[in-house]
Structure 1
């Protein structure tokens, strides 16, 4: 909700001018999937690939944004929705600056991902479903979160005590059990090249 008296101040530089300077379109690659599915690994590998190709980019990782921007949010449905809204708003601003943004967030609900798409703009939003099965994610469990969730020590843990709604029509599906990371990164890079 925008407060009264707040008016958008239009700048003198357009998005197209910024994109022209960087010679790229500012898009967001939104990686969604269960905890330990491989979202962050893919996101940071893609960021490295983009930088190596001379592309200006930045990764917004779910855990990282909770150290600062979203440190006041928990994991309730409402807090998760606000987490996604804030990240989408930041991604939109970065896209308008001409940057390619890679987002790695569980973002479990379709409605919240749709909200993110609307904030960023459908033409600049690429949804990628990291479809690694729950059993594989739970077996990896690098942070020990699934074990804690199964023991009842973590409430509202996605895939265990809180729902995950897989995307109905993502732009790309990657199962990290089937795809080598280099191949997966090239598929992600292809999404950006086609933008």
Structure 2
């Protein structure tokens, strides 16, 4: 743990939202490799940008080229991978940006930590999660696909390599995927088009007022 550090307060979350004319939140995609997470997340980002909203997608593979390039795929490394991206997503959301994450995030406990982080008070704040710094919305989207369908798609041939033993600790084959128990949104990607998935997600956000500044 770092020592001799001091939190420097800045604009409140409400002030920043008012200035940017939108609310920040995190949309957390989870699901097996080849479930369609990144494809739907990319389409959602484009749609939100066309609506005039600031949105940014954080993709599992892309992040491992930079921020998390020192991490492998062991259980402990996966946990640290998700912890880091949850912290980054929270920063984006706190800046009044819609953060869209697309990570397998196979363990329930790690996804729970990401959710709890968004609900936590601002560091160094005496007012807790109330007042001008309300909890950041966290929307879990489970892109649900049968394993056999994901293996049939297999655009990167990762399942094929995992079945041959060329990839160790591969989710769904040699490592577990713990399905979400109560996600905000569940998309069965074998039955739902990308366009339909985007409409479903945007509809959910609009119904709950997450795309406006109204409380």
Interval containing the TM-score (normalised by the shorter chain):
over 0.9
Q: CA deviation at 1:111?
A: 0.2
| Residue in structure 1 matching 2:199, options 167, 186, 189 | 186
Give 1:165's aligned residue. 178
Contact 2:25 2:98 in 1 (8 A): yes
User: How far does the alpha carbon of each residue in 1:66-112 deviate from its partner, in whole angstroms, 9 at most, with x for none?
Assistant: 01000000000000000001100001011110000110000000000
Q: CA deviation at 1:118?
A: 1.1
- RMSD (Å), alpha carbons: 1.0
Q: How many residues align?
A: 193
| Rg (Cα) greater in structure | 2
| Residue in structure 1 matching 2:94, options 80, 83, 96 | 96
Contact 2:24 2:96 in 1 (8 A): yes
Q: Which ranges of structure 1 fall in alignment gaps of 5 or more residues?
A: none
Correspondence 1:3-82 to 2 at 5 A: 3-11=2-10, 13-82=11-80
Q: Which ranges of structure 2 fall in alignment gaps of 5 or more residues?
A: 120-134, 211-215
Give 2:213's aligned residue. none
Give 2:137's aligned residue. 124
Q: CA deviation at 1:21?
A: 2.0
Q: CA deviation at 1:18?
A: 1.5
| Residue in structure 2 matching 1:136, options 149, 170, 178 | 149
Distance (whole Å) between structure 2 residues aligned to residue 143 and residue 162 of structure 1: 18
Q: Please identify, of 66-75 and 22-31, the stretch whose mean Cα deviation from structure 2 is larger.
A: 22-31
Q: CA deviation at 1:123?
A: 4.8
By percentage of residues, which structure has more helix? 1
Give 2:190's aligned residue. 177
SS in structure 2 of the partner of residue 157 of structure 1 = coil
SS in structure 1 of the partner of residue 176 of structure 2 = coil
Q: CA deviation at 1:14?
A: 1.4
Q: TM-score, normalised by structure 1?
A: 0.96
Distance (whole Å) between structure 1 residues aligned to residue 99 and residue 155 of structure 2: 25
Contact 2:24 2:136 in 1 (8 A): no
User: How far does the alpha carbon of each residue in 1:104-141 deviate from its partner, in whole angstroms, 9 at most, with x for none?
Assistant: 00000000000111112265110111001111100000
Correspondence 1:141-156 to 2 at 5 A: 141-156=154-169
